Chains A and B, each alone.
Chain A
Amino acid sequence: MTFSRRIGERFNRGRIAAQAVAPSVVVTTPLTIITSVPVLQWIRGDLGVVLGTGVSTLADQSGNGHHFAQGTGAAQPAYTASDPTLNNQATFTGDGSNDTLLNATMPNGAGNWMSGIIKTAAWVTNKALWGANAAPECGDVLTISATPILAMFNGSATTNQNNGLAVATWGRIEAHYSGAASYLKLIANTVSSGVSPGVATSTGCALFSTIGVAIGNFGMAERVVCGGKPTPAEITALDAYYTARYGPGFV
């Protein structure tokens, strides 16, 4: 018995030594890409999802605990674990009627930089993609026309209108709330910028809804919110991560 244990101990020491020198695998995520500014919130359709009727909880993967939840079954976005329209990645979709996910803790509004993977089934005037969950209204991205136009709103006026994403097409979005440096970017290089959407801030945010705006009929696969604008190199790297993950059909 004693002899066997000694053999085992020697063997185990060897295995531990081998593991110690093996290269570790680093998974590329927004958290590994963006380090120059704090990542306040990161959600993705295949991580931290709890299903009830639809998505009842969508957990923040940033480590900050800014989770989304919806306690009414009829208002939970539909979940697609493997969406054939987005490289078989997980997505969730609001019905444009009452589906919304709410968070009560995240600092929202001025200074924030947001990026996401979205689509809409139809463009309808005054529908929310995301925004505030408590007054004052801020941090919003919403439709302002029945044509494909999204705009920013941060308590003063809709600004930086952008029509760069076609109906029923998955694409990337960036929005930065920072005075005259504010911009709304859709797909790879369609940028609307230069007009301040206001400087309001609030605590708490919402997906597919905000105060005073109808609930939006959007789909989403991922969203990152930072407490400032990442460096150009980080944004380029994030775009590369999106392209690698969401692949063909994604613009």
Chain B
Amino acid sequence: MANSEKCSVGTEAANDALNAIVNKALGYPKRGTPVGGGIFPVIPETWDGQGPVPFGWTKQAVAVYVASATDSALPMPDDVVAQLQAGPAQARLSGAEKGLLTTAIAGRAVKDLETGGYSPKANAVQVAAEKTGKDG
């Protein structure tokens, strides 16, 4: 099945920079909300966004997909773009960052990430097996 998405297409470095702007606008990284009972891993209260993603945290809204250093794609679906264009997201950005984001949104192209040889950049998960409770 095809996996076609509206994407910003460019070099890996350019899309890494664009992804940083997207995350800044949307307030990532974000700490998640535990629900239900049972065992939970330790979820740090704060995280600076460096190193492996701690359990319970979301590092980024979307991932950069890479085919080569000169061919990468950052998915920017319409729902994400709507959030980026809203007031709270815009308020987090500088003028230059708003300009780059606007240009990227306007230049989106549909890419098939499944058949185009793209792979999402690594999402390293925490290896530590810390536990804080027991199932009841």
Partner-B contacts on A (CB < 8 A): 27, 29, 31, 44-53, 56-57, 59-61, 63-76, 79, 81, 90, 96-98, 102-105, 124, 127, 214
Closest to B23 in A: A73
Of residues 80 to 105 in B, which have CB atoms within 8 Å of A's CB atoms? 80
B109-136 vs A, CB cutoff 8 Å, 1 = contact: the mask equals 0000110000010011111111100111
Whether the pair B38, A59 counts as a contact (CB closer than 8 A) is yes
Whether the pair B43, A66 counts as a contact (CB closer than 8 A) is no
A47 — which chain B residues lie within 8 A by C-beta? 36-39, 135
Nearest-CB distance from A203 to chain B (Å)? Answer: 10
Could you say which of B35, B40, B128 has the most chain A C-beta atoms within 10 Å of its C-beta? Answer: B35
Cα A46 to Cα B136 with chains together (Å):
12
B30 — which chain A residues lie within 8 A by C-beta? 52, 73
Whether the pair A49, B126 counts as a contact (CB closer than 8 A) is no
Cα A210 to Cα B115 with chains together (Å):
16
Beyond A31-B135, A98-B3, is A72–B39 a contact (Cβ under 8 Å)?
A: no
Whether the pair A51, B60 counts as a contact (CB closer than 8 A) is no
Nearest-CB distance from A127 to chain B (Å)? Answer: 8
Cα A29 to Cα B134 with chains together (Å):
13
Looking at the complex, which one of A56, A98, A104, A124 makes contact with B57 (CB distance below 8 Å)? A56
Whether the pair B38, A75 counts as a contact (CB closer than 8 A) is no
A103 — which chain B residues lie within 8 A by C-beta? 125
| Extra 20 A-B pairs, beta carbons < 8 Å, given A48-B38, A57-B41, A57-B55 | A31-B135, A44-B38, A46-B36, A47-B38, A50-B32, A50-B34, A56-B58, A59-B55, A61-B38, A67-B55, A69-B55, A69-B126, A70-B123, A71-B59, A71-B123, A72-B60, A73-B61, A74-B80, A214-B3, A214-B114
B1-44 vs A, CB cutoff 8 Å, 1 = contact: the mask equals 10101000000000000000000000010101111111111010
Cα A51 to Cα B127 with chains together (Å):
19
Cα A38 to Cα B32 with chains together (Å):
31
Whether the pair B129, A72 counts as a contact (CB closer than 8 A) is no
Whether the pair B135, A76 counts as a contact (CB closer than 8 A) is no
Cα A90 to Cα B57 with chains together (Å):
21
Looking at the complex, which one of B41, B114, B123 makes contact with A65 (CB distance below 8 Å)? B41
Nearest-CB distance from A243 to chain B (Å)? Answer: 20
A98 — which chain B residues lie within 8 A by C-beta? 3, 63, 75, 113, 120
B134 — which chain A residues lie within 8 A by C-beta? 63
Looking at the complex, which one of B3, B37, B55, B63 makes contact with A72 (CB distance below 8 Å)? B63
Whether the pair B125, A71 counts as a contact (CB closer than 8 A) is yes
Whether the pair B40, A50 counts as a contact (CB closer than 8 A) is yes
15 A–B contacts from the bound complex (CB under 8 Å): A27-B136, A45-B36, A47-B39, A48-B36, A48-B40, A50-B33, A50-B34, A50-B55, A52-B57, A56-B56, A59-B55, A67-B126, A70-B58, A105-B129, A124-B1
Rank and list the top 4 A-B pairs by shortest CB-CB distance, nearest first: A65-B129, A47-B38, A71-B53, A52-B58
